[in-house]
Structure formats: C-alpha cells, structure tokens
Structure 1
C-alpha cells in the first residue's frame, strides 16, 4: 500500500492551482469536472515532485465536498492509498473489523476504482482505498 494522492477541498480552484504551481512549483496535469450524481466536483490534479494533489471544488451544494466544507471548512479532505486489488483489500480489512462507506464504492471516468473507509477507524480522517485495474501498476 502506498499513498496515491491527497484530496484538498478548496473554495477557489484557480487560486489554489496558482499556489500549487507557482509557490510549490507543481505541474497541473489534469483538470476536469465529475458530474456524477452524488459527486459533483471540479478537480485539478497537480504533481508536486513525486506527490499527487487533487484540488476539489464542489459544483453542487449537495456534493460530498460541499457538505465537508460546510462542516469542516476548506483543507485536507482525504488521503488516498493505492492498493494492488481493491476487492481483496476491502475483504481483508472487513475481516479485521474495518467498515466502509459502501455508497462511495465507484469507478471514476479516469478508471480509478475507489471506496472510502468509515472515518471512525482513522480518527476522523477520510481514507480512500483505490486501484487502477486498467493501468499496469
């Protein structure tokens, strides 16, 4: 398991992109809008050295990012860990008593499969597990 990316909720996507690309000398590698119901987020993917940052701007007041920001404000939303096989990892962790937010299980338009762990296991931090089955690891 390794860190795949860090998701950061922002109020101004262009301002955040400028900070990460200018001050931290990152590279904007992708920008897109996820219009899936229940997700509704504009996303900017920034590479900073070996690390990946996903800047997340809610595009609907009912998106999970909007709800997160209403409760906690802007900032780190989640840390994603890449696993070799998502189903195997979920099954193994469930055997150890870990629960998941089952409604978050999905495959993105970019081919990443993901699910969020119940944050009660991680001190309130949202942990995403993900894999990329169509991309050689």
Structure 2
C-alpha cells in the first residue's frame, strides 16, 4: 500500500451537531462511558452581547486523557450549527487529527484539491 500524502496522527476530537446536546451527552456518559468535562455556552456572533448561540458539551473518551468528543447544539435559528443541522441533519460535523506540521498538512490537502472551509487555523486548548 502506498504512503498517503497527508500523514494523520491520532484522532484529537470529533464534533457532533445535534438537536438536544444534553440528551446526547447523557447517552454517551451513561451508555458508552464518556466523561463530561465541561458544558460551554458560546457566542459565535449570531446572538446579542452577553447571550449565547451555541452550547458545547465537551466529553472525554472512555479510558483516554487527550481525545474528546464535542456535542454541539445551536441555540438560535441563525447560528451556524442550527443552520448546519437544518441543512444536513444531525451527525458528525468534523473530525480533527493530530499532525506533525499543521501548515504542511493544510498545504498538502489544498494542493490535492481538498475544499477547505476556512483559511484560518484555530486551536481550542480545551476541545482541540
């Protein structure tokens, strides 16, 4: 088998977009053994100052220290996550893998014709 052009490391996190983040979080905790680390309300720009347009339940994989699951619920009709849910239904929004060099990985994917949704690389220390 040929060596892939973009070498992926371990899974860092994946994000689910759902209608009811609390219920999905409870299922992952009670049935699958995930540990709830934090419930984080956020304003990504579609809510007024001091209000929130999304809610993240950040959970640790069973038996892991570094891998997380982020369960996201859009709180306003205008939020990017509520629109995504409306357009695509519930499910995986994205998966993030560890790589040795993020800039090289992004450029390799870009040259291969991958559609990138953003030119900005962001790192959230809590959820990846």
> Do both share a fold (TM > 0.5)?
yes
Higher strand proportion, which one?
Answer: 1
Write the deviation string for residues 30-77 of structure 1: whole angstroms up to 9, x where unpaired.
Answer: 221221226x42111111223521100112222221111112222222
The 3-state SS of whatever aligns with 2:100 is coil
Shift of 1:4: 1.4
The number of residue pairs the alignment matches comes to 111
Would you say 1:107 and 2:117 are equivalent positions?
no
Greater relative CO (CA pairs within 8 A, separation 6+) = 2
CA distance in 2, matches of 1:99, 1:72: 17
Normalising by structure 2, we get a TM-score of 0.71
CA distance in 2, matches of 1:106, 1:76: 19
> Which consecutive unaligned segments of at least 5 residues does structure 1 have?
113-131, 133-137
Would you say 1:80 and 2:114 are equivalent positions?
no
Counterpart in 1 of 2:73?
Answer: 57
The 3-state SS of whatever aligns with 2:107 is helix
Normalising by structure 1, we get a TM-score of 0.67
Q: What value does the CA root-mean-square deviation take over the aligned residues?
A: 2.5
Query: Of residues 32, 45, 50 in structure 1, which corresponds to 2:58?
Result: 45
CA distance in 2, matches of 1:22, 1:73: 24
Write the deviation string for residues 86-131 of structure 1: whole angstroms up to 9, x where unpaired.
Answer: 222111222222231126x3535x348xxxxxxxxxxxxxxxxxxx
